[in-house]
Structure 1
Amino acid sequence: MPPFTRSLLIAAAADLLDAGGRESVTLREVGHRAGVSHNAPYKHFANKEALLAGVAAEELTKLGDALAALRKDNLPEGEVLRVALREYVAWALTHPARYRLVFGVWSTPFEDLAVAAESSHSTLIAIVEAAQRAGQLPPGDTERMTALLQALIHGAIDLTVIGHLAIGGKGNADADGLVDDLLRYLHASAAVVSSS
């Protein structure tokens, strides 16, 4: 069996997830879509949840890599943070089923998912910490500041997906605008702290 079969299976599962949610993902259909035998998925994944954990780990790895790449673009730290948060929002709104999968409840711990989650979260924390050092965010507990930013992002994503947030409509805002608003308020707060 080719070494890339696992990647083909994960990609096929992600496509099925996008098309019909968790319920549409079956190991048999994933094998069919990936062009392998109906038994091939079982050689890589113990069950459907293990396959979905592989999808979630892949998504977190790609998101983490995209955020890490921003730190190499020679942008000011505050701009790195703004672009990173907007990329996070764009990924979630482009792939809402994947977003719900990644941040959903798991009945079993999966090591590859835990490693990917820790890595992407560490990347986001590093971006937040750099913005704090640059005076773009108030000083303090970086973990809590990251949680605050994620709470706004997740709330804005969820409200957008269910139709309760739109420019000219409910909330008269979009998720990107709320990211910008929060960063502007936090930057103003950081300026007050540094001047006192």
Structure 2
Amino acid sequence: MSTRRARLAWMSTRDSLIAAAAGLLDSSGPDGVTLRAVGKCAGVSHNAPYKHFQDKEALLAAVAAQELRVRGAAMQAAVEEAATPLDALRAMVRDHVDWAMRHPRRFHLIFGLWTRYDEELDRAAGETRRLFVQAVRAARESGALRAHDDERTAALLMSLAHGAIDLALGGHLAEDGKGRADPQGLVDDLIAVLSVNP
């Protein structure tokens, strides 16, 4: 097998393992993700995952990095499809909340505590953060958003979104129940407060 073909096969196996791990994470939580179970789910030998990942934490970091790359692509799409920079920012945050509510285990994996540095995950997280701060900056520069510090405003928006997501996932926040609000509504409220002409 040529070197190029071998690399493509290696990448294909790695991608299959990451997809299988994401599926197991969704269905069984992090405890259900074992290298052996992932190998079985991906249809490869039980030793194959060990050729690609040092251990379970490395595999979960790869799942988180891949998910962040997908989130980054969704952020880019929001910018391209929006009529204004403020609409793009609003769409980004709303999409993020929607994704987290549909994939709570992926959300908690990515934004949970990591005990070991992973370069791929760090790079993916940095890129999605950069895209979000850039969207805040664009909304401010368009005159639609009051923000004295783009980084802090981005952190404020994400902090509110993540807190509201956690409360909603825990059953402590619902439009027709506790808190009389939902994460989407609270994000919209904060953006309205920060907007120059809400």
**What TM-score do the two structures reach when normalised by structure 1?**
0.94
Deviations 1:18-74 (A, max 9, x none): 111110100000000000000000000000000000000001110011101222225
CA contact (8 A) 2:173 2:182 kept: yes
For residue 149 of structure 1, what is the aligned residue in structure 2?
157
CA distance in 1, matches of 2:83, 2:170: 33
CA contact (8 A) 1:135 1:191 kept: no
Aligned-residue offset at 1:105: 1.0
Superposed, which structure 2 residues align to 1:71-82 within 5 Å? 71-82=79-90
Runs of 4+ in 1 over 2 A off after TM superposition: none
Unaligned runs of 5+ in 1: none
CA distance in 1, matches of 2:78, 2:182: 23
CA distance in 2, matches of 1:180, 1:37: 48
SS in 1 for 2:180: coil
Query: Which amino acid in 1 is paired with 2:33?
Result: V
CA contact (8 A) 1:138 1:186 kept: yes
Give the CA RMSD over aligned residues: 1.3
SS in 1 for 2:113: coil
Aligned-residue offset at 1:191: 5.2
For residue 174 of structure 1, what is the aligned residue in structure 2?
182
CA distance in 2, matches of 1:125, 1:142: 6
For residue 66 of structure 1, what is the aligned residue in structure 2?
74
CA distance in 2, matches of 1:74, 1:166: 28
The reply on whether 1:49 has 2:48 as its aligned counterpart is no
SS in 2 for 1:71: helix
The reply on whether 1:90 has 2:78 as its aligned counterpart is no
Aligned-residue offset at 1:106: 1.1
CA distance in 2, matches of 1:134, 1:174: 28
CA contact (8 A) 1:61 1:120 kept: yes
The correspondence for 1:107, drawn from 99, 104, 115, is: 115
**What TM-score do the two structures reach when normalised by structure 2?**
0.93
Query: Which amino acid in 1 is paired with 2:97?
Result: V
Q: How many residue pairs align between the two structures?
A: 190
SS in 1 for 2:80: coil
Aligned-residue offset at 1:95: 0.5
Deviations 1:91-131 (A, max 9, x none): 11111000000011111100000000000100001111111
